[in-house]
Amino acid sequence: MEIAVVNISGKDTGKTVVLNDAVFGVEPNDHAIYLAVKQYMANHRQGTHSSKERSELSGSTRKLKRQKGTGTARSGDIKSPLFRGGARVFGPHPRDYHFKLNKKLKKLARLSALAYKAKDQAIYVLEDFNFEAPKTQKMVELLNNLKLNDEKTLLVLNDLNKNVYLSTRNLAGVKITRVSDLNTYDILDAKKMLIVESSVSAFEQLL
């Protein structure tokens, strides 16, 4: 797959890059994508939710009323789940939601996500660039030039650039990452992928 390289002004540079079919042209595996996204979201859960059971509540264990003869339902102590302020039955407790996937499956999921982006023509290749100083307005202008200002965009660099990172982190619709840190969730979450020219070869080496 051949894509034209554009500069930060949004103009064609006359150069093209070839996206390797072994990375961007595989047959997508939806189940692998599902598992990878499920793992990503599960591993980000804090798991700190907690509720109290009867034995953990403070309060009297005295039986509130006699068993029979009141004309109403029988009841135990005030900590019963049936009463306001009582315990919760089978409530949540702190737990770890992490689970593991093997490397081959996670790799297949990333390749599948990239294949979908390539198929949807949602990948742009940008000529290598740098900002002299961190400036959010510079990144806004870049996105406007590429007509991506209204799109959720993932900017993929080969190496982390401090000035570019600081210029991007204030923008809600833009996420910046390195090729080595790329994950399936980020690829699918973005509407468009903006790949700098120097990182194209890194995709082939990594994946």
CATH number of 177's domain: 3.40.1370.10
- pLDDT at residue 207 is higher than 70: no
Note the residue count of the chain. 207
- pLDDT at residue 87 is higher than 90: yes
- pLDDT at residue 201 is higher than 90: no
Q: What local confidence, expressed as pLDDT, does residue 10 receive?
A: 85
Which of 58, 80, 96 finishes a domain?
Answer: 96
Does one domain contain both 170 and 79? no
Does one domain contain both 9 and 85? no
Asked if 129 contacts 8 with a C-beta cutoff of 8 angstroms, the reply is: yes
Q: Encode pLDDT of 18-64 as tens digits.
A: 888 889 999 999 999 999 999 999 999 999 999 999 999 999 999 99
The CA distance from 2 to 20, in Å, is 9
Which of 76, 96, 116 finishes a domain?
Answer: 96
Does one domain contain both 202 and 164? yes
Residues 6+ apart with CB under 8 A from 187: 110, 113, 114, 117, 154, 193
Does one domain contain both 51 and 152? no
Q: What local confidence, expressed as pLDDT, does residue 136 receive?
A: 92
Does one domain contain both 74 and 28? no
- pLDDT at residue 206 is higher than 80: no
Average pLDDT of the chain is 92
pLDDT, mean of residues 106-134: 93
> How do beta strands 2-6 and 12-18 pair?
antiparallel
The CA distance from 168 to 136, in Å, is 6
Which of 65, 96, 127 finishes a domain?
Answer: 96
Residue 169 φ then ψ, to 5°: -65, -15
Q: How many domains does the chain have?
A: 2
Confidence of residue 14 (pLDDT cuts 50, 70, 90): confident
Which domain does 76 fall in, by range?
A: 47-96
